[in-house]
Amino acid sequence: MTAGTEPTAADLAAIEAEWPLIEAELAVLDAQIRMLAAAGGPSPLDWRRLRRAEHQVLTARLRLTPATVKNAPGPAAAGVA
């Protein structure tokens, strides 16, 4: 996509495919901000919220990985270890 143009259908599809990861990373950021702003330090609930958000990031990345690896150039795409 170049400056001053609208996103193509492919651009929008790529964003849509990556949206769960983007949303999960925003949840991690939100949890970290809450922990930093917590009066008296983070509570057990704050730590749980952070762990859950980090788990969501890992899950989203795993869902995207097979598609990424199949399209990647190099030995990984050919199945060479």
What pTM value is reported for the model?
Answer: 0.70
> Cα(8)–Cα(14) distance, rounded to whole angstroms?
10
What average pLDDT does the structure give for the chain? Answer: 86
The answer, yes or no, to whether residue 74 has pLDDT greater than 90, is: no
27-60 pLDDT, tens digit each: 999 999 999 999 999 999 999 999 999 999 999 9
Give pLDDT, residue 17.
Answer: 92
Instruction: Enumerate residues 6+ apart whose C-beta is below 8 A from 70.
Output: 77
The answer to whether 26 touches 34, Cβ cutoff 8 Å, is no
> Cα(8)–Cα(21) distance, rounded to whole angstroms?
21
Give pLDDT, residue 69.
Answer: 64
